[in-house]
Amino acid sequence: MIMNTLRLQLRFLVPLLLALVATAYLSLPLMDRLTLKWFSRDLNLRDELVTNSLSDSIADALRDNNLERLGASFDRVSRDERLVAIGLCTLANDFILRSKAFPIDVSCAHARELAGHVYPQVDIAGGPVHVGVHSINGPDGPMANLALLHDLSFAGARALLGGGGIPQAPDGASGELAPLAADLRARLRDLEDEFRRSLGPEREWTPERLRSLLHTQLRGDEVIVVSNREPYIHDYDSGHIVVRRPASGLVTAVEPVVQACSGTWIAHGSGAADRDVIDASDRIRVPPGHEAYTLRRIWLSADEEEGYYYGFANEGLWPLCHVAHVRPVFREADWQRYREVNARFADAVVNEARSEDPVVLVQDYHFALLPALISARLPRATIITFWHIPWPNPESFGICPWRREILQGMLGSTILGFHTRFHCKNFIETVDRYLEARIEHEHSVISYKSDQTLVESYPISIAWPSDQTVAAWPSPALCRERVFARLGLGVETRLAIGVDRFDYTKGILERLNAVERLLEKRPEWRGRCVFVQIAAPSRSSLEEYRNFQQRIEAQSVRINERFQSPGYRPIVLIAQHHEHAALTELYRAADVCLVTSLHDGMNLVCKEFVAARDDERGVLILSRFAGAAREMTEALIVNPYHVEESADALHQALVMPEAEQRERMASLRMTVREYNVYRWAGRMLADASRTRLRQRIEARVERHRGQA
């Protein structure tokens, strides 16, 4: 009996002890080595960026022997990049220049010895310091070395220097090492969060910074974009082929990314002339005339388009996610087409992929099933899915007959992005309600089967116009003159505008009601205020959309009949697609821009309006139900369902003093400039690069475990 118990205990204890020893052996030094490498790699990449951005001015300063300005930029870069100090050394290891905080006891030679490492003894920042030394090259080769010292005090000796605490024993009696992996994962994430926080306020995101990130952090990894809508549509116009840009927020946002990394964009070829311009593999280089990336077109039959696009995506998921009082329609046949088309796009991704671990950017609600389909065939791919529309609460989503399949499909993503934290929270709660998944709320990570998905908010935006772009715009006064002449408006008229796809979620009806109420309540605006609505035709083959368009037309006619006078109509409805330049002209001509969505993922029109107003004039009225309302708090925020509130806001906007307009607009412009589309993409891609690195570390831990 005793022997039996002992044997049993030994059978149980020996593996457990072995596991503990293995854990202790593996975890401490390995953890520290891994985290050290982790941070070193990140810092080396940051160093490369700093070196790149400084190298021209250093080369110029050395050539002209003018170091004064360089000293100031060293101090500024130190502050921005959270560097402890910067030093510039000759190739013979003498200092040319060093920032004020450069430690007196660290020579150039010493810095070179320390390069690439974390050193506790260089304790000038209240903690350990990472040292990097990078070569500055001139036309004839290396000219000098740049020594960059990073503060690592946030990570502390605990994580990086071997004081890492007691490794957690495997819990339970199984003796398995699985908890270690989970622990390691959690700890890496904690450190990552701390690291991100430690970097402080961000530098501005620019196309160059995005390109640098793609080149350094993703080291030229392959990037593939998938969306339903193509960025360029080839059509026939009087027998000639013309290229059109679709009215779509998604295209506006994603194109700068794919341009920056010359990737491949896979999309439905929807133009009448699309087939006449592609090569034998259905590809074409775009943008026309400035070829920067490949567009691969997928052809859909009328039946496929009907079921997948109009049916399931736009009559089912669109109203389901927007909760805008239009009933979702779910048909079995549409669902089948949706599944088939998602499978066809998955084939195209696999077909286009030149590596086994591409970064795939899946765009929007047309492709909920695609992430899992890609992940099954390219398990090493990093799949970033961005959901451009809102995510509803679990009860609302629950009416979808295929809710589990949709969620399972989306959880094939490595990263799942929404515009706001609120949409992320709704999604996580929906998964919690309908699937057996493990949710780490602290890190916003869902584990489902063998996949892990980071659910994160990435507020989308626009590309902030460059100085050259702005310089090429006609002045606001000229824009006003042209628009007023075209519409036959008197010079004293106050102009309010709306620009949207013709969609029932955009609150166009509510906007018209607000204008009507204003004219009712405040007769002084009759004859003096005109509201122009640009409504780009959209999904017109759906009955719901046709009915909506008719209602808007009828409402405009009714309001006009009620308030018009000779030479005056309060509402101008222009149901036509416009070129971007025409929209910019209108934005610059307007006194007020109305964005009154009943529910909107983000809304880019409000950001475009603000970006167009370098004169810091004009007032934005913004629905509180647009994602943008969370960032653009200096707009007049309204509840579009509350007609009195919206009418009052319109009045307030029309009488707002110039100084207040300026104040609000300047602040809005700062927000949109900072939270631009490059930041949206950059944050997502930086998270993807961190995830890729973490996966590599985890794979290495797995291998160590296998060997232990």
Would you tell me which residues interact with ligand GDG (CB under 6 A)? 245, 247-250, 252-253, 388-389, 460, 499, 501, 534, 536, 577-580, 583, 600-605, 608
Comparing CB distances to ligand GDG, the nearer of 46 and 501 is 501
Min dist. Cβ of residue 534 to ligand GDG (A): 6
Q: At its nearest, how many Å lie between ligand GDG and the CB of residue 626?
A: 7
* Strand order across the beta sheet in which 636-638 lies: 571-574, 529-536, 494-501, 592-595, 619-623, 636-638
Q: Tell me if residue 184 falls in helix, strand or coil.
A: helix
Question: What is the rounded distance in angstroms from the CA atom of residue 119 to the CA atom of residue 131?
Answer: 8
- Cα 686 to Cα 192: distance, rounded to the nearest angstrom: 12
Q: Taking CB positions, which residue lies at the least distance from ligand GDG? A: 249
Return the number of the residue (389 or 512) whose C-beta is nearest ligand GDG. 389
Closest distance of CB 528 from ligand GDG, Å? 27
Q: Which is nearer to ligand GDG, 148 or 668 (CB)?
A: 668
Shortest Cβ 600–ligand GDG spacing (Å):
4
Least CB distance from residue 250 to ligand GDG, whole Å? 5
* Closest CB 317 distance from ligand GDG, rounded Å: 12
Q: Between 135 and 633, whose beta carbon lies closer to ligand GDG?
A: 633
Q: How far is the CB of 391 from ligand GDG (least distance, A)?
A: 12
Q: How far is the CB of 28 from ligand GDG (least distance, A)?
A: 45
- For ligand GDG, give the closer residue by CB, 529 or 677: 677
Contact, 388 vs 601, CB < 8 A?
yes
**Closest approach of ligand GDG to the CB of residue 324, in Å:** 11
Task: Indicate the residue among 48 and 674 with the shorter CB distance to ligand GDG.
Answer: 674
Produce one character per residue of 304-333: b if its CB has 16 or more CB atoms within 10 Å, e if not. Answer: bbbbbbbbbbbbbbbbbbbbbebebebeee
At closest approach, how far in Å is the CB of 340 from ligand GDG? 24
In the bound state with ligand GDG, the residue whose beta carbon lies nearer, of 453 and 603, is 603
- Taking the least distance from each CB to ligand GDG, the nearer of 261 and 598 is 598
For the CB of residue 121, give the shortest distance to ligand GDG in the complex, in Å: 50
* Least distance (Å) between residue 401 CB and ligand GDG: 24
CB nearer to ligand GDG: give 63 or 580: 580
Give me 249's structure tokens.
């927020």
**Of residues 369 and 612, the one with the C-beta less far from ligand GDG:** 612
One-letter identity of residue 378? L
Helices (H) and strands (E) in the chain, counts: 23, 23
- The continuous run of DSSP H or E covering 654 comes out as helix 643-655
Q: CB of 384 within 8 A of CB of 361?
A: yes
Q: In angstroms, what is the minimal distance from the CB of 499 to ligand GDG?
A: 5
Burial of residue 61, with CB atoms counted within 10 A of its CB: 0-12 exposed, 13-18 middle, 19 or more buried: buried
Give the DSSP per-residue string, 568-604: B-SEEEE-S---HHHHHHHHHH-SEEEE--SSBSS-S
Q: Tell me the DSSP string of 69-124.
A: HHHHHHHHHHHHTTEEEEEEE-TTS-EEEE-TTS-TT--HHHHHHHTTEEETT--S
Of the candidates 282, 292, 416, 403, which has an alpha carbon nearest to the alpha carbon of residue 360? 416
Largest CA distance in the chain: 109
Least distance from ligand GDG to the Cβ atom of residue 349, Å: 21
Residue 426 Cβ vs ligand GDG, minimum distance, rounded to whole Å: 15
What is the secondary structure of 350-416 as a DSSP string? HHH-SSSS-EEEEESGGGTTHHHHHHHH-TT-EEEEE--S----HHHHTT-TTHHHHHHHHTT-SEE
Q: Which long-range contacts (CB under 8 A, 24 or more apart) does 19-24 make?
A: 19/170, 19/175, 19/176, 19/177, 20/169, 20/170, 22/177, 22/705, 22/708, 23/167, 23/168, 23/169, 23/170, 23/177, 23/180, 24/167
Which token pair is 530? 């005109």
**CB-wise, 126 or 537, nearer to ligand GDG?**
537
Rounded Cα distance between 335 and 650, Å, is 43
Question: Nearer to ligand GDG by C-beta: 10 or 242?
Answer: 242
The tokens for 366 are 């047309």
User: Which C-beta is closer to ligand GDG: that of 196 or that of 421?
Assistant: 421
CB 420 within 8 A of CB 410: no
Nearer to ligand GDG, 536 or 697 (CB): 536
By C-beta, is 283 or 578 nearer to ligand GDG? 578
Q: 636-638 and 141-151 as β-strands: parallel, antiparallel, unpaired?
A: unpaired
Q: Name the residue type at position 143.
A: M
Residues 446, 438: Cα–Cα separation, whole Å = 6
Cα–chain center distance at 50: 24
Burial of 253-273, coded b for 16+ CB within 10 Å and e otherwise, reads bbbbbbbbbebbbbbbbbbeb
